[in-house]
Structure 1
Amino acid sequence: MDTLSYNKSLELLHKVSSASGFVASAEDTSNYKRVWARDGVICGLAALASGDEKLIETFRITLETLANNQHEIGTIPSNVMINENTTDVSYGGLAGRVDAVTWFIIGICQYAFHTNDNTFITKYEVEIEKALHLLEAWEFNNRHLIYVPLSGNWADEYITDGYVLYDQLLRIWALKNYNNFKKSEKLALKIKHIVEQVESNFLPNSNQEKFHERAYNETDFKAYLPCSFSPSGYKNQFDAFANSLLLLLNIGPSKVHEEIINFSFDLAKSTKLGLVPAFWPPIFESDQHWNLLKDNCKYEFRNFPYEFHNGGSWSMVNGFFALGLLAHSEKEKTNIILNNINKANAIEEYSFYENFNTDTTTPNGVSNCAWSAAAAVLVHQAINNNFKIVL
């Protein structure tokens, strides 16, 4: 048990606790001194896992900040910055952030469950219902999968778009969490429909009706589920976050889970950091999707091969991979991944970098990144104190 790494992680979560909620980094970098939906909820899950009352209170404030700044049509802010006299709300940059909506619902429900406070659900029931209605609209064709624009989730400078696996799985998780409280036949049926569509369109050898039959039949399925598909076909990069969520939610047959676990863990073992890259393989200048990747940045290009989303390694993503492993009783592998997360976070005297170049191990992004610490806390408590996120 690495208590030093755990305590350092908790220390950083306290540093990023503000009067408005969890900010993304303790560094004085403007875009990271904001309360982000997905970052804030992931830090909030770590707060619940830790049992630290001050951190749990910061999580509550985070959720209230997001709820108070929900758009009238139901959109949850990607991020919010609150100063003494002004509030600056962003719903996304080049495109809106679909996953902010689902992470918000997950966060409300996780907080209510772990604090045993059902009134928190009641308090934000209107906001949740508006968010769920918006997700319905984002299906566009009323066939149970949401359509995500390029740049529409956490991988905001990557190539995934259309029916993105990660976003479908987050929606299933959010609906299941909410239905734990509502016990609604309508919600249960919606969950069933979405799961069926995920299994039909993303799993290999499916006999069910497909969204895009021709593209499905032309796809070379791997030992993992493809990251997305759209009218232009499937994108077959390995998405570690999405496949980890699949393991957590236990969707699909056990044979598929075994293949994902073996592929992911072998991939992690093959790298110098011992961590699974966020997306794999990297996209190079000679590859089909290079121009799509190159042009998808608002300020400066960061997705060089092996960096950021393009094959970079993130402690946060590996935290969810470790939780997925543990959900399938792979405790030894979970301990190995946690150990490697702690080693990565400890680089440069516990600088908690956002991500790393998988080839060179060079740190990338901001230091003192909150969700890098959150990953370590979540997995540590899952292993040592049997903490379980609600699914």
Structure 2
Amino acid sequence: MNIIDEAYRQSIDVVKRCMHGIGAKASALSEGYNQVYARDSIITFLGASLVENDEIKASFRITLDTLSTYQSKLGMIPLFVDVENPRIEANQGAVDSNPWYVIGHGVYYKRYKDIEFLKSSLESIKQAMLWLEYQDSNNCGLLEVQEAADWGDLYANRGNILYDNVLYYKALLEYSALLELCGENGEDSLARAEDVKTKLNLLLWLGDVEEKTRIINEKGYSQEWLRVIRMSSELYWFGKFYMPYVAFRDFGYHCDALGNSLAILFGIADDAQAGKIIDHFTQTGMNKPYPIMANYPPILPGDKDWREYYRNGHLNLQYQYHNGGIWPFIGGFYVAALKKAGREAFALEELENLAKANRTGKRFEWEFNEWLNGRSGMPSGMAYQAWSAGMYIYAYRSVMDDAAESDFL
């Protein structure tokens, strides 16, 4: 058996080992990640639910039930639910839980066509979307997110963050479809999704400043956006990737692999933009030694986005963790984005490299580690990660299945 197929078999085994009575744990190991994380579990099931398996199907549904059970009274989906002590608790880094939860319901319906479960969950989904709407604190149409408040929970993205707003766009699309399935009108949500898409391309993709100025003035958008657009364009006169965030008179200059890959997969980026993003990934070596570094270039002491908390436990130093570390789950989105962008041969090459990343272990082969050093490729973090395995399945099926069947989202 070749390494690509062996990695697929091993991925399914790891996912099954992460199944628990209240849902999919983040890791098969009991120490470290003995919780059902909202983002981790839904990302895991994007791929795992493509495997015809009753245990996986049941775990997907149980996971969604658990997340709704511990939803706050205001509609917030928890960052995680501990399997030993399940309860509602204060969560830092959970803004992306809500859009992933809504996307998860959309994926669950697409896979299993369980309309009764969808209808029984609709009120929870509505509350989750209402909570997201409240995160638009200045009524600009995009989410405003505080620092380190999503999956990058030790990273200084803030304000209108690419990753969270790309998810918001997809959640609005899914919500529209789910409402229609339940006999309700989804047109407003669909229109809001298109508005988010337009504004992401206006604000976070560098382009013609004069044209952007005209649009902002014509539409009555925030004049503060013009300040940032002009500031960023003075440094970078053309777009190669979506900026990771725009905040008050500030912006990020590093390339966020997850946000940009999702922008390709969800259709926010057009064909030309997708090509530029992928070229940037490869020309900078973000995909080496394995796919792919979470952010590049790493933030260094003295940079405006450096934070002293990056030194905690030496975790977020350059080429580690969020700060240039390689994350195999992001690699799965990246490989799928290559396929969607028409880079089929390259996607197959990178799928093999992703298999190698998951095979690399600290003690044993096929550890599916959380992240790897962005320079040495040495594995770090917790082993037997559900989303590392689940997203390999997703990438594998994206590349190996026929094109007509590969749009799993």
Q: TM-score, normalised by structure 1?
A: 0.93
Is 1:332 the counterpart of 2:332? The answer is no
1:250 aligned partner, one-letter code? G
Output one character per residue of 1:168-195: Cα deviation in whole Å (capped at 9) or x when no partner. 1101111111222324221121112111
Q: Secondary structure at the match of 2:87?
A: strand
Q: Secondary structure at the match of 1:323?
A: helix
CA distance in 1, matches of 2:75, 2:286: 42
Q: Work out whether residues 344 and 352 of structure 1, in 8 Å CA contact, stay in contact via their aligned partners in 2.
A: yes
CA distance in 1, matches of 2:190, 2:366: 44
Q: Secondary structure at the match of 1:87?
A: coil
Q: Counterpart in 1 of 2:248?
A: 231
CA distance in 1, matches of 2:265, 2:388: 19
Q: Work out whether residues 91 and 97 of structure 1, in 8 Å CA contact, stay in contact via their aligned partners in 2.
A: no
Partner of residue 351 from structure 1, selected from 342, 345, 367: 367
Q: Which moved more, 1:257-266 or 1:202-211?
A: 202-211
CA distance in 1, matches of 2:125, 2:90: 17
Q: Percent same amino acid at aligned positions?
A: 25
CA distance in 2, matches of 1:245, 1:140: 24
In the TM superposition, what is the alpha-carbon distance from 1:137 to its structure 2 partner? 1.0
Q: Secondary structure at the match of 1:177?
A: helix
Is 1:342 the counterpart of 2:355? The answer is yes
Partner of residue 266 from structure 2, selected from 238, 244, 249: 249
CA distance in 2, matches of 1:162, 1:147: 5
Q: Counterpart in 1 of 2:183?
A: none
Q: Work out whether residues 71 and 88 of structure 2, in 8 Å CA contact, stay in contact via their aligned partners in 1.
A: no
CA distance in 1, matches of 2:303, 2:286: 25
1:269 to 1:283, Cα distance in 2 relative to 1, 3 A:
closer
Output one character per residue of 1:260-310: Cα deviation in whole Å (capped at 9) or x when no partner. 111113334772x232210000112232322x2x2268x634101000000
CA distance in 1, matches of 2:315, 2:335: 26
1:217 to 1:269, Cα distance in 2 relative to 1, 3 A:
closer
1:295 aligned partner, one-letter code? Y
Which runs of 5 or more residues in structure 2 are unaligned?
181-185
CA distance in 2, matches of 1:89, 1:301: 30
In the TM superposition, what is the alpha-carbon distance from 1:37 to its structure 2 partner? 0.2
1:35 to 1:72, Cα distance in 2 relative to 1, 3 A:
same
1:14 to 1:253, Cα distance in 2 relative to 1, 3 A:
closer
CA distance in 1, matches of 2:266, 2:287: 26
Q: Counterpart in 2 of 1:176?
A: 173
CA distance in 2, matches of 1:251, 1:51: 30
Output one character per residue of 1:291-347: Cα deviation in whole Å (capped at 9) or x when no partner. x2x2268x6341010000000001000100111111122111211221111101101
Output one character per residue of 1:194-240: Cα deviation in whole Å (capped at 9) or x when no partner. 11211111122252216421121111344111000110411111000
CA distance in 1, matches of 2:111, 2:367: 30
Output one character per residue of 1:243-269: Cα deviation in whole Å (capped at 9) or x when no partner. 001111222442222111111133347
Aligned length in residues: 382
Provide the alpha-carbon RMSD of the alignment.
1.8
Partner of residue 363 from structure 1, selected from 371, 379, 382: 379
Is 1:295 the counterpart of 2:295? The answer is no
Which runs of 5 or more residues in structure 1 are unaligned?
none
1:302 to 1:232, Cα distance in 2 relative to 1, 3 A:
farther
